[in-house]
Structure 1
Amino acid sequence: MAKSEWMEGKYRRFLTEGRGQGAGKEYVPWTKTYEFSSMGRATRILGIKTGRIHHLHSDLQLRAFLIFEFSHRVQDIMECFPLIDVKAVIDDHEDLRFDKFCNKETREQMVITTNFLLAVKDSDENEKYVARTVKNSTELTRKITFEKLEIERRYWLAKDIEWKVVTDKQLPKQLARNIEWVRDTLLDREGDRVEKEQLSVILHKHLLDNPHIVLRDLLKQFDKTEGVPKGTGLYLFRYLVATKELRIDMNSAIDFSKKISHLLPYIKGIESHEDL
């Protein structure tokens, strides 16, 4: 089979498999992490809001995913979204360098993708779509990067969908680390949910009633007082942060040696990144 026939067959197979189609749990990204070598470290992660495995092709994409998912505005995350109808959608594309994004051997046009298509709620609780391309700021010095970004910009403009480029400078590492540290408390078995929620209510009251106690000491005290295994208080603290029952400064490392009163006044965190 000729290389061009193989490429065409792969394209048709992807469409048949529903790549780039569906929503929520049913969405299928155009490419998956195991299908080609990535320039960065690839990650597969179970989405809390979607209930499916997300395929992310770099650490920066993972960082963006964690921050997007933690946002109360974001309802759905569709990664590696293909612009299959790009030439039909963009009326004026004669000056766009599609030739830069062709298979080097067959010269066939490759499918251009946008990193994330998000379903979000606006301030009036109406749902809409926004598109986000994630790039390291160092990549923005490359001409080919700008050529691809211009194709994406015109495509989403024609679709009347807001599109932005998000760089590493807008995706704080510490924020993503904190989100990753708390989010797995939302992924445990259904059978543990009732007890976890009941105990977390008790811990929440302990925290609010004892603002002058050091956080580390209170969590240890909680384990003894409630007769629960060591580390349960810490786990429930993470759960309360993950569910946003506790609002702490998610942009900074959590200092367990501080008094609770120094941690709980914060109501910022992801809110400062809601414009992503």
Structure 2
Amino acid sequence: MDWPSDPALYPPYLRSCIRKRMGIGEGADYRPWRMLKELPTSGTAAVVHGIRVSRNYELLDTKSTAIFYLLERRRTISDIRERWPILDLNRTLQLAYKFDVVHPCRAGVPEPLTFDFLITDQTAEKTYKAINLFRAENSLNAREQSLMRIRKAWCDEKGVDWVLVDSSPISRTVVHTLRFIRTWYVNCYKPNAAVSKRFSERFLKEYARNVVLDELVEKTGRYLGLRPDTRLDTFRYCAWIDQIPVSLKHRLACDLPLVLRLETHD
């Protein structure tokens, strides 16, 4: 799913954005609609280099970052596009009239509605899913609800799944843990399927809930004859692909006992 790249197909006030390829393209060629520097943020925005697609992702806050990490871990997802715009303005303006809500505007002209994420899933065949985030503790007002109805109606017409995700359960601990295990990629660790399988199997045999992570990693790595500088990143990668079922709800650190999901049912 992609929008045409010819600026002449869009209203004049959108053409400069289209020329910059904002909201256009797939994979590494995609750029989000509106860059971070153009948007108000809470100070927790992040620029993250993607694992599945080699480009920088601009994420508005820690909740968005955590959702992005969770999506990256799903093996069937081949592309993730943040702030993907509905450039079909004629239709969204019609839907705004239908739902009796003022369409978003910027500088006095209609501004495209966006999804927080549009993902490409290749489970059996290529499908698309649009995601918008909200926090249950900050219930949507009437206008926000109407704008969500526009998004859903447009997706229904196009055969795109649309989901509204409550990001409230995502705590700082979840974000910290995801970042900790994702560091294997930041450290340029090169995964090896056979090594990962042997490491995770041995690690789970060594596991005891009162033993700190450093000790478990050292025992496992020494048993397998791994270089000391690769042991922790091997663990991180195994946790990232869920061969070691780490609990995201418990703080993860080298000097703390490890909690596995088997114990917590999270």
Closer/same/farther in 2, CA of residues 157 and 224 from structure 1, 3 Å limit: closer
Give secondary structure in 2 for the equivalent of 1:99. Answer: coil
Would you say the 8 A contact 2:206–2:219 is kept in 1? Answer: no
Question: Which amino acid letter does the alignment assign opposite residue 180 of structure 2?
Answer: W
Point out where structure 1 has 5 or more consecutive residues left out of the alignment: 1-7, 270-276
CA-CA distance at 1:118 after TM superposition = 0.8
Which TM-score applies when normalising by structure 2? 0.77
Would you say the 8 A contact 1:175–1:252 is kept in 2? Answer: yes
- In the alignment, does 2:181 pair up with 1:182? yes
Give secondary structure in 1 for the equivalent of 2:21. Answer: coil
| 1:55-70 alignment, distance < 5 Å | 55-70=58-73
Question: Which amino acid letter does the alignment assign opposite residue 233 of structure 2?
Answer: Y
Would you say the 8 A contact 2:181–2:237 is kept in 1? Answer: yes
- Identical residues among aligned pairs (%): 17
The residue number in structure 1 matching 2:150 is 151
- In the alignment, does 2:118 pair up with 1:117? yes
**Which of 185, 190, 193 lines up with 1:193 in the alignment?**
190
CA-CA distance at 1:160 after TM superposition = 1.6
CA-CA distance at 1:47 after TM superposition = 0.9
The residue number in structure 2 matching 1:207 is 203
Question: Which amino acid letter does the alignment assign opposite residue 26 of structure 2?
Answer: A
- In the alignment, does 2:106 pair up with 1:108? no
The residue number in structure 1 matching 2:234 is 236
Distance 2:64 2:246 in 1: 24
Which TM-score applies when normalising by structure 1? 0.75
Distance 2:31 2:50 in 1: 13
Point out where structure 2 has 5 or more consecutive residues left out of the alignment: 1-10
Closer/same/farther in 2, CA of residues 111 and 251 from structure 1, 3 Å limit: same
The residue number in structure 2 matching 1:34 is 37
The residue number in structure 2 matching 1:54 is 57
Q: Deviations over 1:226-263 (max 9, x none)?
A: 4844x6533321122123332333343348765x8x74
Would you say the 8 A contact 1:44–1:56 is kept in 2? Answer: yes
CA-CA distance at 1:59 after TM superposition = 2.2
**Which of 18, 22, 25 lines up with 1:19 in the alignment?**
22
Distance 1:75 1:268 in 2: 28
Closer/same/farther in 2, CA of residues 175 and 129 from structure 1, 3 Å limit: same
